[in-house]
Each structure stands twice: as C-alpha cells, then as structure tokens.
Amino acid sequence: MKAEEAIRRIEGLGCWDGAVTLTPLSGGITNLNYLAEDASGRYAVRVGEDIPEHHIMRFNELSAARAACLAGVSPAVKYNEPAITVLDFVDSHTLTPDDVRKPDTLARIVDLVKQCHTQVPLHLRGPALIFWVFHVIRDYGATLEERGSSHGALVRELVQIGNALEVASGPFDVVFGHNDLLAANLLDDGKRLWLIDYDYAGFNSPLFDLGGLASNSELSEQMERRMLEQYFETPLTEDLNRRYSAMKCASLLRETMWSMVSEITSDLDFDYAAYTAENLARFRGAHENYLQTYGAMK
C-alpha cells in the first residue's frame, strides 16, 4: 500500500475521537508506521497487507499482538481493519544495539523474551502459525530462483547450508517466538521494557530468538553466555552452545535471504542491497567461526 492510500485509509477509520493528525514513524523496513493523535490520546498505526513471500499473515500478527498484550509484554490493540492495526502508543526510548549490550538492559530483555515465550501462548485464540526458519530459508531459495534474483548463483549453497544447520541445531524445544528481535522492536518507557511488532510471530525454537537477539545487536561471547545461562537457568553446556551457535547462523542466513527477497519484492524506500551485503558478510563470518569450532556439518 502506498503512503497516500495509507494516510487516506487511516484518516477514515471509525475509531478516532474527532480529528486525527498523523506523523510518519521512521525505522520500519516491512510496514508503514504512523503516530496518530486525536482527542483521546496518541496511538501507533501499522499499515501492511499479507506478504506471503515473507510468511507474514496479518491475522496471525493481530492475534499474537493481542495475546502479547494480555501476557504483559506489548501495548494494547485499540482497533483493526484489514491491513491496518492501531495500538496504544508507548512514550519511550527505542533501544539500539548499544543499549542491548548493557548488562542490566540485556538481563531485562532476556526476562522479557522468556515471558513472551511462555506467557503469550496461554492467551492465543484461533489458528496460530509456526515460524520454522529452515523452511523459510528453503522457501526463500525457491522464490529467489523463480524470480530471477541477481543472487541466484548463491541460492543452492545457502539452502544446503541451511539444511545442515537444521540438523546441527537439534533436538528442539518449542515456544511461542517473536522471531524478529531487532533492537528497534524493544522499547524502554523508563519503568519497563516492551516488545513490539509481531509480523513473524509463531511457534519456534527459543534458540532462534536468542540467536537473533545476539546477532542483531552483536553481543560478545561473554554476553551470549550470560544470556543463555540466564534464560535456561543453568550453566552453559557444550551441547547447548553448539546448537545455539548453529541456530544463530541460521538467524543470520534467514536475515540475509529475507533481504535478497525484499530487493525484488518491496516498494519501501530502503537500501536492501546494502542490507543484503552487510548481513551476508556477517553470516559468512559466523558460519566460518561455527565450522572452525565444531567442524564440518554433516
């Protein structure tokens, strides 16, 4: 949906108390986002249709957002129509990777992520999706080949690596994951943290969220150990670290291929090519480190 149509649709929603003013919110690379203000208060408005190539289904995002509110990790949904969701606006500081790396903040984030994993599924209603990163990687590979991506020569190699990582990161526990733990999806209002944006939410291994949190904010090995030991409430074992390291590679591979697909499908004003190059380099580095530590994957 183009910005002009989005603004027209938002202004015409039946939830406003009198006139509404809209201000674009920066930072989104999947949706259009606005701050809306009317006589009753301020709200965040997310605009985006289903994106099947990215496994984004808005019914799933909406049910996850509602459950996350009931679980105490996300602001409330005020109103929704197809492709538009209005949420309570949180007056807050959007975290940066530097914020995430602060020991006290990281500890609070780990508690919040675990709360999401364990409490959100208790409040879900209706159908719910699974977000299986290895299926996503295979599907991205097929999409890139079908649409003649400029990265086509890499697809077979990347999918094969993804298949090997799937074996290496098991056996699996299953929780309800957020599956997009960028620092920008974490808010601090001065009293507590909030976890927002449930586009990719679904049942998954907890290691995917933990690996994504670490890779997106470039945590050190010491920080990763502290994160894992806090989450699992036990000293880090070699087996857990091996499985976690494989899943962290998978999270970087998925982000890389997400960007490759976005290069040929997204209309948003964002430099996806540069984002692809950045994430591909980070994935290559993490995967090489994994191979050096644990040997070739079967």
Mean pLDDT of the region 1-23: 92
Which long-range contacts link 98-101 to residues 24+ away (Cβ below 8 Å)?
99/183, 99/186, 99/188, 100/183, 100/186, 100/213, 100/217, 100/219, 101/217, 101/218, 101/219, 101/220, 101/223
pLDDT at 177 > cutoff 80: yes
Task: Please state the rounded mean pLDDT for residues 34-55.
Answer: 96
Task: Name the one residue in this structure whose structure tokens are 């919040």.
Answer: 112
pTM metric for this prediction:
0.94
Residue 297 has pLDDT above 70, yes or no: no
For the chain, give the longest Cα–Cα distance: 63
Of the two residues 298 and 260, the one the predictor is more confident about is 260
* Res 148: pLDDT: 96
